[in-house]
Structure 1
Amino acid sequence: HMRRGISTPVLALLLIVVLLIGVAIGYFIPRPGAAQTVTVTGPATTVTVTATAAALPSEILIGSPLGLSGAFASFGARQKAAIEMAQEEINEFLKKAGIPTKFTFLFEDTEQKPDVSLAKVQSLAAKGVKVFVGFSSSGEIRGPSAYLDTNKLIAISGSSTAPRGTIGKRFDEGSYIFRVLPTCEYEGRALAKAFIDMGFKKAAIITTKDAYSEAIEKSFIENFQKLGGEVVAKVSYQYGVKTYAAEMSTLEDALTKYSNKEAALLANMWEDVALFLQEAKARNSPLLNYVWFGTDCFAQSTIIINEAGDIAAKVKLISVLFEAPHTQVYYNFVEKFKKRTGQMPDIYAMAQYDAAWIAALSILAAGSLDTDKIREVIPVVCSHYYGVIGNPALLPTGDAAIMDVAFYSVKIVDGKPTWVSVGIFNSALGTLTWTQAP
C-alpha cells in the first residue's frame, strides 16, 4: 500500500538515482572527517553528492557531574580520580587504533543536590555535551532524569542504586539513563541474612529520610520478616540534624528489652553515623553494648574512621557494599588506583571507571554522537564488556542485573581502627559466607 501523492514512474526514477549514488559511495568510502565529492552520471541525469562519513569530531566532550562537596565528597573525589584514569587510558587506546579523536571529561560539582545536578547538566548540554558519565547518588540522577530523556541525552551512572521507579523511566519505557550497578534491594537481603545468621532475631532501625535509604529499609524488613525476624523499633530523621537525642531514646527503650545476643541495631544512615556514634558515646548510651549494622552509604568511609573509629570498632559497624569479582582486571585497577591516589578504590569508583569506558566504546561503536544510535548500542556493549566490576549486563530497566554483596566491619588493626572485609553474600544463591568473625 503506497502513500498517495507520488506516482510510480517518479518513485522508480528516484530509486535509480539513489541506487547509482549508493554504488558510487560504496566504491568511494570516505576517510573519517574528510568530505568527498562524487559525481555520478546516470542515463539521463548527472548527480553530484558530497559524502562525509559519520565522522566523530576531533574532540568528544563527556559531561561528568559528580558529588564533589557535601556528605559524600570523599566518594566523589575517588570517582573523579577513576574517571580521569579512564580518560587517559581511552585516549591511549584511540592513539593505538589510529582513530583521530580524543575524549575530554568535563567535571562539575553537583553538591549532591538534585536541582544543582539538573543545572549542571543543562549548562553542559548548552556546550554541546550529549553523553554524561557520573552522578554520585540517585538524587543527582533523579534531578535531571526528565530533562535527559526529553532531550535524548545519554547518562551512565556507576553509583546510583536506588530502585528504578524513584529516579524516572526504565530503558524499555524509552529512558536514556543507564546504571552499571544493580539496585539496592540486594543489600536489604544481605543485611537480613546477616542479622539472622548471627542470631539476631530482633532489629531496631534508624533511617535517613530519603528515597534510597527508605528503599533499603523496605527491602531489609521484607527479607528479615521472611526469615523470622521482628522489627522492634523504627525511627527516621532528616539528614543534617545536630542531635539525635529523641531518636536515640526511642531506640534505647526498644533495644534494652532484649539482650545484645538476640537484638542489634541497623544504622541505615549516611556518613553522619559518625556524629550519631559520638553522641551515643557522650551520653553513655546502652546502644553501644549492641552490634550495629550499616549500609553502603558509609562502608569503607574514611570519615567514620577519622571521626569515630574507636566507637565504631566497639559496635563493629558491620556494613555492606557491592563486591566486584576479584579478577586480574580488578587487581590491576586497584594497584594503579592506589599508586595514583594513595587510597583503596570503593565499588563506586570502580563502576564509574567502567561507565566511562562503556560510554566511549558505545560512541565508537555507533560511529557518531547520534544518541539514538548510542542508546541502542549501550546494552550490547554492556553484555560483552568485562571490566573492573565484572560483566555489567543490563536488565530491560537499563540497570545491571545482579552482584554479590561484601561485608566490612570496623576492627582495631595494629592499634588503629580499620575497615576489614569479613564476609560475602552470594546474591544468586542467597548464601552468606563469613571469611572471619565480624
Structure 2
Amino acid sequence: MKERNAGGWQRLRAAAGAGLILAALPLGGAWAQDALIGVSLPMTGPKALVGRNFKQGVELAVDEINAAGGVLGKPLKVVFEDDQGDNTNGAINAVNKIMQVHQTPVMIGPHYSVTQMATQNVYCNGKVVSVTGATGVPVTNSGCNFVIRTRSNDNVQAKALIDYAQKELKAGEKIAVFYANDDFGKSGQARVVAQMAALGLKPVAVESHNPNDKDYSAQLAKLQKAGAELVILWAHDTDAALIVKQAKQFGLPFQFAGAVLSEEAFLKLAGRSAEGAMSASYFVPTDPNPAVQAFVKKYEERFKMAPDVWSATYYDATILAAKAINAAGSADVAKIRDAFNSVKYDGLLAGYHCTPSGDCNNQVNIVEIKGGRPVVRSAVSY
C-alpha cells in the first residue's frame, strides 16, 4: 500500500469521527494501534465509580498478562471507550467505536444487561466477541453467538438464595420479597418467586418501591403484618441500606437476604444495621481463597484501595479473553469465539469453563455480614 499524504490521513480521521466503517484498515494497522481488546465501560456519568474499578481490574490483568509474555507473542494493548454505564445510546456509540475505529477482535463489556441487549444487534454479526459480566438471563439466551458471560446469571443467584434459606436458615414458608420497581428489581423478584414456586412455596407478601425512595415504612409494615421472617431484598445498594436501617429503627425482626447486601456502598450506608444480612455475591475481598487474597494484595498495592466485584469480574474477563486469543493463535474473531469453548481458567469468581451458549460460570457465594465485614459461608454451583 502506498503511503498516504497528510491530507489523506486527516480525511480518514474525520471519517472515523463520523462513525464510518474503516474497512480498508486491517486489524493491527496504524489506526488499530495493535490493540486486541476494546473495553466498553462507564467513564463518565453516575456509574463512573463502577467504571473506575472495572478499568483498574482490566489494567491489573493486562500488566500480569504482559509480564507473562503477552498475547500472540506481543504485549497486550487495550483501548477504553465510555459507554456511560446503563445508557443505551452511550453503549451503542462505544461499541460502534470499538468495532469501526479500533477494530479489535475482542470487546470487554458492555456490563449492564440493558446495554448488552441494546448492542447485541450491533456486534452479533461476528465482527467482535463481547466478554461481559451482565447477569440478565436473556444475555446468553437471545441467539447471539458472540457473547461470553463471566458471571452466573440471575437465576443462579435467586436459586442459591432460596436453597440456602430453606436448607440452612430453615426459613420455611415465611419468606417475603421486597424489590425495586425497575428492570433490575422486577426481573430479580420474578426469578425469586419462580424459584420458590419450583419448591412449592409462595411468598407471604410481595412489595415494591421506586428507586431512590427515602421512606419505606408503609411497605415494611405490610411485610410485618404478613408474618414475614426472611425478606428477600432485590434492590439497589443505597436503597437496600436505607430499608434495613429503617427496619432496625422500627424494631422489626426481619432477616434480610438479597443480591447486593455485601457491596461496599451498602455496608457503608447501612452500618450496624447490616449485621446478619445475607447475600448471593460473586466476589468479596474478604474471601479466604488464596487466589483472591493474592489478588487483593496486588490490587491494594497498585491502586491504594480495596478491589470490589467490578474489579474482580473484569480482571477475570481480561485474563479469560487473553487465554482465548492465545488458544486461537490468531486475531480472527471466529477462531477466538471457538477457542472460548475449550479454554479453562481458575479465576477469582469461579473456575471458568464456557458452554456453547457462552455461559462460563454457574457459581455464586453465600455471604453473611459479621462484625461489619462480609464473610463467605459457602460457594454454590449448579
TM, length-normalised to structure 1: 0.70
User: Structure 1: 5+ residue runs without aligned partners?
Assistant: 1-53, 429-438
Quote the RMSD (CA, aligned, Å): 3.2
The equivalent position to 2:378 in structure 1, one of 424, 427, 433, is 424
What is the correspondence of 1:405-424 to structure 2 with a 5 Å cutoff?
A: 405-409=365-369, 411=370, 413=371, 418-424=372-378
**1:114–1:142: 8 Å Cα contact kept in structure 2?**
no
**1:56–1:369: 8 Å Cα contact kept in structure 2?**
no
1:217-265 per-residue CA deviation (whole Å, 9 max, x = no partner) reads 23322333444543122123443x44444xx41441242342xxx6222
Match of 1:15 in 2: none
Paired amino acid for 2:67: E
The answer to whether structure 1 residue 398 and structure 2 residue 365 are counterparts is: no
Match of 1:192 in 2: 162
1:73-129 per-residue CA deviation (whole Å, 9 max, x = no partner) reads 54433221110001112222336x892454123242423223321121112323223
Match of 1:366 in 2: 328
Cα separation, partners in 2 of 1:109 and 1:394, compared to 1, 3 Å: same
Give distance in 2, aligned partners of 1:77 and 1:213: 24
Paired amino acid for 2:63: E
**1:203–1:231: 8 Å Cα contact kept in structure 2?**
yes
Paired amino acid for 1:398: G
Give distance in 1, aligned partners of 2:245 and 2:169: 26
- Which structure's CA Rg is the greater one? 1
Equivalent pairs: percent with the same residue? 19
Between 78-87 and 142-151, the greater mean CA deviation after superposition: 142-151
1:138-187 per-residue CA deviation (whole Å, 9 max, x = no partner) reads 22312211111135221101x21111x2x3655xx452111122212121
The equivalent position to 2:152 in structure 1, one of 159, 182, 193, is 182
Paired amino acid for 1:291: Q
Cα separation, partners in 2 of 1:398 and 1:78, compared to 1, 3 Å: same
Match of 2:271 in 1: 309
**1:232–1:255: 8 Å Cα contact kept in structure 2?**
no
Which secondary structure state, in structure 2, belongs to the residue aligned with residue 392 of structure 1?
A: strand
Match of 1:252 in 2: 221
1:69 is displaced (CA, Å) by 5.3
1:375 is displaced (CA, Å) by 1.5
The equivalent position to 1:233 in structure 2, one of 205, 217, 224, is 205
1:178-199 per-residue CA deviation (whole Å, 9 max, x = no partner) reads 1122212121122112333323
Give distance in 2, aligned partners of 1:300 and 1:339: 23
Match of 1:222 in 2: 194
Between 200-209 and 342-351, the greater mean CA deviation after superposition: 342-351
**1:395–1:401: 8 Å Cα contact kept in structure 2?**
no
Which secondary structure state, in structure 2, belongs to the residue aligned with residue 380 of structure 1?
A: coil
Give distance in 1, aligned partners of 2:336 and 2:267: 42
The answer to whether structure 1 residue 152 and structure 2 residue 127 are counterparts is: yes
Which secondary structure state, in structure 1, belongs to the residue aligned with residue 362 of structure 2?
A: coil
Give distance in 2, aligned partners of 1:323 and 1:301: 9
What is the correspondence of 1:370-385 to structure 2 with a 5 Å cutoff?
A: 370-381=332-343, 384-385=344-345
Give distance in 1, aligned partners of 2:362 and 2:297: 25
Match of 1:112 in 2: 86
Which secondary structure state, in structure 1, belongs to the residue aligned with residue 102 of structure 2?
A: coil
**1:66–1:112: 8 Å Cα contact kept in structure 2?**
no
Which secondary structure state, in structure 1, belongs to the residue aligned with residue 353 of structure 2?
A: coil
Give distance in 2, aligned partners of 1:332 and 1:372: 34
What is the correspondence of 1:165-176 to structure 2 with a 5 Å cutoff?
A: 165=138, 167=139, 170=142, 173-176=143-146
1:321-360 per-residue CA deviation (whole Å, 9 max, x = no partner) reads 0359965443322221132234443344223112112222
1:287-343 per-residue CA deviation (whole Å, 9 max, x = no partner) reads x43222121xx2332222332313333xx3322203599654433222211322344
Comparing both chains, which one has the higher relative contact order based on Cα–Cα distances under 8 Å and sequence gaps of 6 or more? 2
The answer to whether structure 1 residue 356 and structure 2 residue 315 are counterparts is: no
Which secondary structure state, in structure 2, belongs to the residue aligned with residue 156 of structure 1?
A: strand
**1:142–1:168: 8 Å Cα contact kept in structure 2?**
no
TM, length-normalised to structure 2: 0.79
1:72 is displaced (CA, Å) by 5.4
Match of 2:261 in 1: 299
Which secondary structure state, in structure 1, belongs to the residue aligned with residue 323 of structure 2?
A: helix
Match of 1:22 in 2: none
**2:283–2:309: 8 Å Cα contact kept in structure 1?**
yes
What is the correspondence of 1:324-343 to structure 2 with a 5 Å cutoff?
A: 328-343=290-305
**2:231–2:256: 8 Å Cα contact kept in structure 1?**
yes
User: Structure 2: 5+ residue runs without aligned partners?
Assistant: 1-25
The answer to whether structure 1 residue 161 and structure 2 residue 135 are counterparts is: yes
Cα separation, partners in 2 of 1:142 and 1:271, compared to 1, 3 Å: same
**2:261–2:267: 8 Å Cα contact kept in structure 1?**
no
Match of 2:62 in 1: 87
**1:70–1:112: 8 Å Cα contact kept in structure 2?**
no
**1:69–1:112: 8 Å Cα contact kept in structure 2?**
no
Paired amino acid for 1:233: A
Q: How many residues align?
A: 349
Give distance in 2, aligned partners of 1:390 and 1:153: 24
Give distance in 2, aligned partners of 1:221 and 1:215: 10
Paired amino acid for 1:129: Q
